[in-house]
A and B are shown apart, each in its own frame.
Chain A
Amino acid sequence: SQTIHQWPATLVQPVGSPLSLECTVEGTSNPNLYWYRQAAGRGLQLLFYSVGIGQISSEVPQNLSASRPQDRQFILSSKKLLLSDSGFYLCAWSTGDVSTDTQYFGPGTRLTVL
């Protein structure tokens, strides 16, 4: 069966500090991978998605970036965090089946920027 991991689970960072969040998927090959952000009391905002190694699509211009160095690894980064970057960051995967594309979420990282 497939498993998705995210770490860290929680993070408190000062404004202007760098960020690196990691997501890994087990039990599947060549998944589609997604980064979402959920601000407090808000919906899911798609930040990035990837259909393969080194292939990243950005949905929202911001100070965040994503990379996919390995097939089942997806990294979210920032050089300088803003207060507005606080939120619940979720990684998701799907098989890439263009008829259904069911997405499965990791446990998430709660980021607080002070």
Chain B
Amino acid sequence: QKEVEQNSGPLSVPEGAIASLNCTYSDRVSQSFFWYRQYSGKSPELIMSIYSNGDKEDGRFTAQLNKASQYVSLLIRDSQPSDSATYLCAPYSGGYQKVTFGTGTKLQVIP
């Protein structure tokens, strides 16, 4: 069974700091990786996708992928209180395999 591991948190960071969210996955053939943000009581919203080893930057967000280590992370620079949410990691193995969602890391940005 495919597993996705995330620290449930809460991860507390002060406003303006860098938040680092980590995820490990068990399926070695995973080829696409997604990060979703879910505010309390709302549905998940896609914020980043990454397909190749290395870093991918989009504004204040940077996704990092290391397929050899089966590790993907999300960095949020200059964290804002509005970033306070649960972040879901979701690897996808391709073909008709479904996306596997982690249980998420709750991030709290303290003003």
Interface positions of A from 90 to 111, Cβ below 8 Å from B: 90, 98-108, 110
Choice from A42, A59, A101, A104 contacting B92 with Cβ under 8 Å: A101
Chain B residues within 8 Å of A105, by CB? 36, 43-45
Complex Cα spacing A73 to B103, Å: 28
Chain B 62-102 interface 0/1 with A at a Cβ cutoff of 8 Å (1 = within)? 00000000000000000000000000101010111011011
Given A43-B101, A43-B104; A98-B96 close (CB under 8 Å)? yes
Q: Is there contact, CB below 8 Å, between A102 and B34?
A: yes
Q: Count residues of chain B with CB under 8 A from any CB of chain A.
A: 24
Interface positions of A from 5 to 58, Cβ below 8 Å from B: 34, 42-44, 46, 49, 51
Q: Is there contact, CB below 8 Å, between A98 and B49?
A: no
Complex Cα spacing A44 to B101, Å: 6
Choice from A90, A99, A108 contacting B94 with Cβ under 8 Å: A99
Q: In this complex, which of A44, A51, A106 has the most chain B Cβ atoms within 10 angstroms of its Cβ?
A: A44
Tell me the interface secondary structure of chain B in the complex: loop
Chain A residues within 8 Å of B102, by CB? 43
Chain A residues within 8 Å of B99, by CB? 101, 103
Interface positions of B from 13 to 54, Cβ below 8 Å from A: 31-32, 34, 36, 41-46, 49, 51
Q: Is there contact, CB below 8 Å, between B44 and A44?
A: yes
Give min CB distance, B20 to chain A, whole Å: 21
Chain A residues within 8 Å of B34, by CB? 102-103
Give min CB distance, A35 to chain B, whole Å: 12
Q: Closest 4 CB pairs between A and B? A: A43-B103, A105-B43, A44-B101, A108-B43
A to B CB contacts below 8 Å, 12 in the list: A90-B44, A98-B94, A99-B31, A100-B32, A100-B49, A101-B32, A101-B94, A103-B99, A105-B43, A106-B43, A107-B42, A110-B41
In addition to A100-B51, A105-B44, 12 A-B residue pairs with Cβ atoms within 8 Å of each other are A43-B103, A43-B104, A44-B101, A51-B96, A98-B95, A100-B92, A102-B46, A103-B90, A103-B99, A105-B36, A108-B43, A110-B41
